Amino acid sequence: MTELADDEGKQLAEQIRKAIDDTNYLTEKQEEVYGTCQSNVVGPKSLSEMAAEQQTLREAVDGLTSRLDELARQSPFLAAEIRTYLEQSAREMAGACNNLGEGRGRLSLEQQREAMFNLNQASIKLLDGLENQKQCNKGGSCNKMSMQMQSMCQKQSQINQETKGQCPKPGDQLSTSQKEGLKRLAGEQGTIRKSLQELQAEFGNRREVLGRLDALAQEAGKIEEMLEDGQVGQELTTANCAYTRGCSMFRNH
């Protein structure tokens, strides 16, 4: 790597390390809320006060998720599961906040435990990403495009799997939750499309990859539109297959 690229790698590792620290901090704060809620049947803190603390934590998790989305576009070593764990943690926190606000302190405990579990899982995945980033930095060279394409292929595979889970049974209509799920996947697909376009801008001077990157970005755009519109039929399956074939061409590039 050039000196500049080496500096970028070190900066990425430092940002990942900071994300780990922040995730662990949020876990500790969630443990505090959990402990207070568990022992505070009749105590100095009202449930509404604990609900406010829980809401603050949920917002902090949302902020961390946004930061990691940006970081994932720079480092190929951050697994897509990290976002999934953080999103699940935020959903559990939202449920706990609702229960606390409505006076159901005991019912919030399981959701708080689940929130802590998902934060811990995200931290573990971040540690894996940090180690891989450090190994890449020590190795002195990384095929950045290949690494990023591998990461995007993995994320695309996850989107494809989740899409199958949102598909209605033959003859059924999409439910509200399925429509919301597809819109969320459309947003994730849009992130992949933007990453491909950024990669194309960076490596577009290489004639052997320019056309393939352009084709992949177009396929990602098609998939994004179909997910946004709730089109989960054969056309979407065909587009997913076309993207996957094109993506596989870069695995050993």
Query: CA angle 162-61-112, nearest 5°?
Result: 85
Residue 203 has pLDDT above 90, yes or no: no
Q: 225-251, pLDDT tens digit by residue?
A: 888 887 766 677 777 666 666 665 554
Residue 155 has pLDDT above 90, yes or no: no
Which residues lie closer than 8 Å to 9 by C-beta, 6 or more apart? 1, 133, 136, 137, 142
Handedness of CA 123, 129, 131, 134 (dihedral sign): negative
pLDDT of residue 76: 67
Residue 83 CA neighbour count, 13 Å, CB half: 21
Query: How many helices (H) and strands (E) are present in the chain, helices listed first?
Result: 8, 0
User: pTM value?
Assistant: 0.59
pLDDT of residue 246: 61
pLDDT of residue 227: 83
pLDDT of residue 53: 93
Residue 110 parent element (H or E): helix 105-139
Q: Which of 121-125, 151-155, 188-192, 220-224 has the lowest mean pLDDT?
A: 151-155
pLDDT of residue 225: 86
- In the structure, what pLDDT confidence band is assigned to residue 192 with cuts at 50, 70 and 90? confident
What does the block give as tokens for 155?
């994320």
- In the structure, what pLDDT confidence band is assigned to residue 253 with cuts at 50, 70 and 90? very low
Handedness of CA 223, 224, 225, 226 (dihedral sign): positive
For residues 105-121, average pLDDT: 93
pLDDT of residue 251: 45
